[in-house]
Every structure is written in C-alpha cells, then in structure tokens.
Amino acid sequence: MNDVYNNKRLPKGIHIVGTGESVSKVGEIAGFEDAASAEKPEKENAARSEDECADDKIEIPSTPKTEAAPWGYIFIQHMSAAVFEKNLENRKLLGDFKPKCFVHRTVRYKDKPDGKGVVKTEKPTVNGLVFLQGATNQLRTFLKLNFPQYYLVNNCSTKKPASIPDSVMQPFMAVMQNEPERLTFMREPFERFAKDHVRLRVLTGLFKGQEGYVVRVKRDRQLVMNIGGFAVAVNNVHNEDFEIAE
C-alpha cells in the first residue's frame, strides 16, 4: 500500500482510488485488463458496423447546462443576520435585482428548565456572516442601492470579492439544512491545510466533485473544503471514494 504522495502522507481510513494494490490509476480492477483487451476487437468491429449506418442518422445537439449564479458574502456589524433577512424579505428595495440569502446556523440542544425533554436552538455559526447569491457586479450594485454600509468580503487568497460557485454552495447548504452538526467552521485559512496534506477530490456522495484535504478534526478525519476563503470541515466522509487532485 503506497501511503505517501509527493512526500506527503496520505490519510488513513478512507478509500483513495489509484493507491491500492487492487485498483489501477484509472480506477479499474487489476486482473480484468486482459479480458477487456480481448473484447476490444469485437467491440471495434461492432463500432465499424454502427459507423456505416451513421450517415442515415440525424444528431440533435445537446443543450449545455447553465451554471446558476455564484455566491458572495458580507459581514453585518450593526444588526443581526435575522434582522437583515427580514429586511431583505419585507423592505421595499431599490433596483430590479434581489439576491437569495443564506445564513449558516449552528444547532444546539439543551435541557428544558423542568428537566422534561430538550429545547432546540439555532444561532449563526459565524456572527454576522450572510451569503448572497448573484454575480459580483449585481451584488455590488444591490448593496450600494439598499445597504450602502455593507461591502462584499474579499477572498483572502485572491484579494477579490469572494465568488463561490453554486455547485459548491448547494451541497454545503443541503448539509446545513439536514445535518448541520456535520459542519465546522475552522479558524485557520484554507491554505494552511495544504501543508503536509494531499489535495483530494471526492468521487461519490453529496460532495462529489469537490476538492479539499482530509485532516484530523475533533479526533475524526474530516474533509476540509474552501468556501470563499473559509475553511469548512465536513465529517462522516469515511465511506466516500476519493482521488488525488494534485
């Protein structure tokens, strides 16, 4: 088992495609290569027969999927995130653009005063952090017209306003709504985790396609991802497949 890549130790306890003895670099099971090679001539002959009839077929071009608008974020200092959400929903706003809003909340449970049952409470994980969906120029104009006291926060690595792809935000928000206890906002910047860790790409599950580092957080190996410059750790990733992304 090769547990080192580019002088960095690969994390234990997860399946990384291409690093096991029974899995090749492209994720194929060793021992089936010869059988696959033997089938190639038959497949090639069948392909030629299909090509001969291809002239009679009309190909309809597929419509490319359009990526939804990205997300930026702001920090609110003079009002709570909940108040900002209400203003966004109820206030008469200037301009013809209104962004979607998302606030990451941490769920906690505490015993009721009478000792019978528990009470569920929610509060913003990072005080004043509000995500807004829209292109950077749209969000800038919206804030200037309606909330001029707030500005888009820069990604610390690019020094430009953070622009988080919707494909990254959707699984992040889905986990927040259904399993918020799986997420942890880290104090350190995302770049810090590159040291001594191999960058991996998720191949299965809700976070398929996302990249990050599997590191030990709270005595558990978790996937640390980059959310607009924030380092966010996701637990319970042991059953997912990964590949090296460096």
pLDDT of residue 47: 52
**Collapsed DSSP state (helix, strand, coil) of residue 58:** coil
Residue 62 lies inside a defined structural domain of this protein: no
pLDDT of residue 4: 83
Q: End of a domain among 163, 193, 214?
A: 163
Residue 52 lies inside a defined structural domain of this protein: no
pLDDT of residue 65: 66
Mean pLDDT by 10 residues, the chain (246 residues): 77 84 35 43 52 51 72 85 86 92 81 84 76 97 95 89 94 87 87 91 95 92 91 94 94
Same domain, 73 and 159: yes
Same domain, 98 and 116: yes
Q: Give strand ranges (E) for 18-173.
A: 71-75, 101-102, 105-111, 118-124, 129-133
Q: End of a domain among 142, 163, 184?
A: 163
167 phi and psi, to 5 degrees?
-65, -25
Same domain, 137 and 219: no
Same domain, 138 and 204: no
Question: Which DSSP letter does residue 44 get?
Answer: H
Q: End of a domain among 135, 163, 191?
A: 163
pLDDT of residue 195: 87
Vertex 216 angle, CA 213 and 220, to 5° = 120
pLDDT of residue 62: 54
Give the bridge partners for 212, in sequence order: 200, 225
pLDDT of residue 143: 96
pLDDT of residue 49: 52
Q: Which residues contact 134 (CB under 8 A, 6 or more apart)?
A: 69, 70, 71, 72, 97, 99, 100, 142
pLDDT of residue 166: 96
pLDDT of residue 42: 53
pLDDT of residue 38: 45
What predicted TM-score, i.e. pTM, was given to this entire model?
0.71
Range of the domain at 72: 68-163
Residue 136 lies inside a defined structural domain of this protein: yes
Number of domains in the chain: 2
